[in-house]
Amino acid sequence: MSKIRVIMDAHGGDKAPLEALRGARQAVDELDVVVTLCGNEPSLRELCAKESISTDGIVFVHTESIIPVEAQPTAIMKEYKDCSMAVGLRLLTEDKGDAFVTAGSTGAAVVGATMIVGRIKGIKRPAIATVIPTTGGGCYMLMDGGANAECRPEMLVQFGVMGSAYMQRLIGVDNPRVGLVNIGAEETKGNELQVQAYRQLAESPLNFAGNIEARGLPLGECDVAVTDGFTGNIILKLTEGMGKMLMAELKGMLLAGTRTKIAAGLLKGALGDFRRQLDYTEYGGAPLMGIARPVIKAHGSSNAKAFKNAVRQAKIMCEERIIEQIRLTVSQM
């Protein structure tokens, strides 16, 4: 079997291009993939030389422009139509790669992937799908993390279909439990969206676990949590903020006295593992589920390791044929 080919946007993310280059290097060395980097080739090559990053096995595709993170998402189809992200997405449609990874603007990635690559037939809207850690080393997939601030009930059912395929094939969860994020367990709870979505989910072939209150999410009460992109974005970012807050408070507690400082010394390695375990950004990126080919949105603050993990995720999505699985399920519904 030939190697999986991953296209990367060299300029997306706060720490790009340096960490993107380092991540590409690590991916080529460790993951047995071919990487194509879209970006300003002369300046990228210069940076590689300066930082002693070998370019062996990395293909460069030159682009002049970069879409700024504050640009309107639709600008990727207009004034920034030749930016590194747009060029990468076009290479994907031209079959110059099997998957695409970017840490750039989420909005631009959603618009660009939808307009340039297109959706899976039958899927109404793509969703940002993020895997979030739970107690006991588990995880759940949250959909939608913010691609669609407003949703219709049938979109939530499709999120369930896509999330189930992912959790089953990539994470190895048998018959994933799909929960509807809501403000109470009863089926009459929530707004019109939740009431309608509850009915449609109950009638779908999914393993519907009913309404899930937000308190149950980090406790692992479902494998796929479906919600509109507004609520999903709140969940995603509050999870991130709470993790940061708790690590800061823990640190404050450990540095407060002599006994606690001794304890901190004993915990050194374990604390690092703990922090990493909480940090969903280390899991890789968020696939834009519903797009006709694998597109991964890495976190805006991705470092080399996060870029590499996003490439790994892209590779597994290709190997496990997630998109074919979704296409099949949707065509049968």
- Least distance in Å: CB of 234 to its own copies? 5
Q: Which stretch binds its own copies (CB under 8 A): 47-55, 114-122, 157-165, 270-278?
A: 270-278
- Least distance in Å: CB of 151 to its own copies? 10
Among 47, 214, 300, 325, which residue interacts with its own copies (rule: CB under 8 A)?
214
Contact of 195 with 188, CB cutoff 8 Å:
yes
Residue 264 as a binder of its own copies (CB under 8 A): the answer is: yes
- Least distance in Å: CB of 272 to its own copies? 11
Residue 238 as a binder of its own copies (CB under 8 A): the answer is: yes
Of 322, 329, 262, 316, the C-alpha closest to 27 is 316
Q: Which residues contact 150 (CB under 8 A, 6 or more apart)?
A: 228, 229, 230
Of 195, 199, 200, the C-alpha closest to 183 is 195
User: Cα angle at 13 between 54 and 162, to 5 degrees?
Assistant: 105
- Least distance in Å: CB of 332 to its own copies? 32
The neighbour count for residue 248, using CB atoms within 10 Å, is 10
Question: Which residue has 């990727």 as its token pair?
Answer: 76
Among 252, 319, 331, 333, which residue interacts with its own copies (rule: CB under 8 A)?
252
CA distance 26 to 281: 17
8-state DSSP, 297: E
Query: Strand 33-39 and strand 4-9: pairing?
Result: parallel
Q: Which residues contact 151 (CB under 8 A, 6 or more apart)?
A: 125, 144, 193, 227, 228, 229
Residue 219 as a binder of its own copies (CB under 8 A): the answer is: yes
Residue 181 as a binder of its own copies (CB under 8 A): the answer is: yes
Q: Which stretch binds its own copies (CB under 8 A): 60-68, 201-209, 215-223, 287-295?
A: 215-223
Among 230, 283, 325, 329, which residue interacts with its own copies (rule: CB under 8 A)?
230
Residue 267 as a binder of its own copies (CB under 8 A): the answer is: yes
Residue 77 as a binder of its own copies (CB under 8 A): the answer is: no
Residue 250 as a binder of its own copies (CB under 8 A): the answer is: yes
H or E element, residue 237: helix 229-254
Which residues of this chain interact with its own copies, rule CB under 8 A? 134-136, 146, 149-150, 181, 183, 190-191, 213-219, 229-231, 233-246, 248-250, 252-254, 256-257, 259-260, 262-264, 266-267, 270-271, 273-274, 277-278
